[in-house]
A = this chain, B = another copy of it.
């Protein structure tokens, strides 16, 4: 019998979780399918693979990563820790709860560094179009190797879509925006707030991007930060010079008018207006669409494409749980593909979807969403051999985290949590978030603070790494 062939689209956290899931099965003596992982970028890590580029990349492809300089995790790392690879195992000592991007990138890449799964990844290779043939029950994947321009057409038994949904900006129009001559970009193309020093900055939106990019602007010395919300303000205890206003009604040159009748002259506008589910390589009958939500329609157990259960999505949800949820999904998808977990018939899947959708729709608030996603992950974990993960403790961390933010939006990243996996208490970072302008892993790991004087010593960083 020939091996099944599986195409994984994307080698970001979700695609890497899928690779890890197969690798884990192989390590346990199981024979795994033939795998091809298509990755547009030259390296793996998805969003966490920072680039200075914006818009289109060196090959003319849409830039994938929306990350910027000085981005630190906006949730405690203890809520996203892998159950099969702890922060302690990777770093060899406690680190703080809110590491900057390069540190998290190092962690997720580190888990796969000592495996051979990189051999499955075709880098700088973009999937152009996928079709499904009813007769053969096979997918044909048309891909292009970007450096050479070579096209390949290959068939697969399964496709795992792990390309993410925070890469294609939702960029609304705004009346008069064509008259604005300052800096204007979507959060996706924002790369750092240093140039906002002394400027009046407007962020449009009231979710994580607006919160953090506004905070970055404040941190980097913007003269003022205004956040414009559509439905309701974020409502944090913002520092001096940071305020919220309702929706934009008109832009006229540098002047922006708001729904409360006020106006403000600004130098820069960053649209933090979210992202689209966009899968340009999928025909409509296979493509997830709709809003960013914790329970997207059309997916059995959040991963199986209901109308064609040979197709899977990993990481398609809006996310409280992240890396560990991707793991739970990837382990389950692996077991479905390998025939270890049973796949119910369409009617049973539909019944299950309806049951969970009803639960989801009854959720009254954000805390309920977190609890719901915890239950969702727990259900997946029960289907597979992924190491045990104390969902309740993670949910508690999320709830404390939300409380921390309410208390001190500019200081919550200086707080510390205890690992659910190892019990290790996070280290106190040497520099408060508000004062730290160097997000390199070298500085992060090498810094020491004298507990008497508070002085920071930075020995040669490279020699310390992993020492």
- Are B128 and A168 interface neighbours, CB within 8 A? no
CB distance from A181 to the nearest CB of B (A): 4
A12-68 interface with B by 8 A CB criterion: 52-63
A178 at the interface (CB under 8 A from B): yes
A278 at the interface (CB under 8 A from B): yes
A144 at the interface (CB under 8 A from B): yes
Residues on A facing B (Cβ under 8 Å): 52-63, 69, 126, 128-129, 131, 142, 144, 149-151, 153, 168-169, 171-173, 177-178, 180-186, 188-189, 192, 194-195, 267, 276, 278, 280-281, 283-285, 287, 289
| A-B pairs with lowest CB-CB distance, top 9 | A55-B55, A60-B168, A181-B194, A129-B129, A151-B283, A52-B178, A151-B284, A60-B278, A60-B276
List residues of chain B with CB within 8 A of the CB of A172.
Answer: 58
- Find A189's partner among B55, B69, B195 (CB 8 Å cutoff): B55
Instruction: List 13 additional contacts besides A55-B55, A55-B63, A60-B168; criterion CB under 8 Å.
Output: A55-B56, A55-B185, A55-B189, A56-B171, A59-B276, A60-B169, A62-B62, A129-B129, A142-B283, A149-B284, A153-B283, A181-B195, A182-B195
- Are B171 and A53 interface neighbours, CB within 8 A? yes
In chain B, what residue has the closest Cβ to A62? B56
Q: Most chain-B CB neighbours within 10 Å: which of A57, A144, A177, A287? A: A144
Cα A182 to Cα B128 in complex, Å, equals: 34
In chain B, what residue has the closest Cβ to A253? B194
List residues of chain B with CB within 8 A of the CB of A267.
Answer: 195
- Are B289 and A171 interface neighbours, CB within 8 A? no
